A = this chain, B = another copy of it.
Amino acid sequence: MLELHYWPGIQGRGEFVRLALEAAGTPYLDVARGLHEQGQGIPAMLGVLESPVLARPPFACPFIVDGRRVIGQTALILLYLGPRLGLVPAGEMDRLWIHQVQLTIADMVAEVHDLHHPVASSLYYEDQKAEALRRAEDFRKNRLGKFIGWFETLLDRNPPNDGAELPHLVGARLSYADLSLFQLVDGLLYALPKATRRVLRRAPFVSALHERIPAHRRVAAYLASERRLPFNEEGIFRHYPELDG
């Protein structure tokens, strides 16, 4: 069975992969959340990452194990899984475009992480709070609206979205980038509800996508299950009210 390896306890970057697997209804093993006695858990994940022999070890999690293939980097995992899960169109240029959007989502995710960790991932938030306040102010002022505005433009310029209830990034069918954009907006609404709601008022397509994705049958079942971890202050999207302005 396909294995997903990611830190248990947080949604983090693993959630972008998890949403694609769940939306496609593909069985998978969430290894690090499994039991140590069954050869799973964090040690199993670290065993791959720190293997002394694996020729092509990922730099970090999330990564997937598909038979003998070990693949890291969230956007690449989705590039690889997309056709296998039926979550991309057939054409090469459409697939590369969806990957381009995903890479930009990844860039924004990295910036959101650094909102609360502008100095070092190895330090606590409390030890870099002064820096975080400055960084968050710039993010709200210069970055949040720019990113969301770009996604809005893409949705606005995808012809099938005209009058559609659920807009898509490419064509008229669900892709993994739609799911990732939902997750990004969901995380932003958790972390920075005031600033994000303000920006979404000028982004009707992004808002509609975020509202309608949870109506997808398998996504709805997943979100209601205990497999969907809640957002929390250990993950990438953290709600520290002082960073919300």
Contacts and interface: CB of A to CB of B under 8 A. Distances in A.
Interface of A: 53-59, 69, 71-73, 75-76, 79-80, 93, 96-97, 99-100, 103-104, 107, 110, 114, 118-123, 128, 131, 134-135, 138-139, 142, 147, 150, 153-154, 157-158
Contact of A57 (B96, B120, B153): B153
A103 B119 contact: no
A123 B138 contact: yes
How many copies of this kind of chain does the complex include? Answer: 2
A115 to B, nearest CB: 11
A118 B131 contact: yes
A55 B57 CA distance: 37
A96 B80 contact: yes
Main secondary structure of the interface of A (DSSP, over half): helix
11 contacts: A53-B157, A56-B97, A57-B154, A59-B104, A59-B147, A71-B96, A76-B100, A80-B96, A119-B135, A120-B134, A122-B138
- State the 3 A-B residue pairs at the shortest beta-carbon distance, nearest first: A120-B138, A73-B103, A59-B104
Contacts of A157: 53-56
Contact of A131 (B59, B100, B119, B121): B119
A72 B58 contact: no
B118 A96 contact: no
A124 to B, nearest CB: 13
A158 B118 CA distance: 35
Nearest to A103: B73
Contact of A76 (B69, B99, B120): B99
Contact of A150 (B59, B75, B96, B97): B59
A21 B128 CA distance: 41
A134 B122 CA distance: 12
A169 to B, nearest CB: 10
Nearest to A118: B118
Contacts of A80: 96
A73 B25 CA distance: 30
Contacts of A114: 114, 118
A56 B134 CA distance: 33
Nearest to A151: B59
A72 B55 contact: no
A71 B57 contact: no
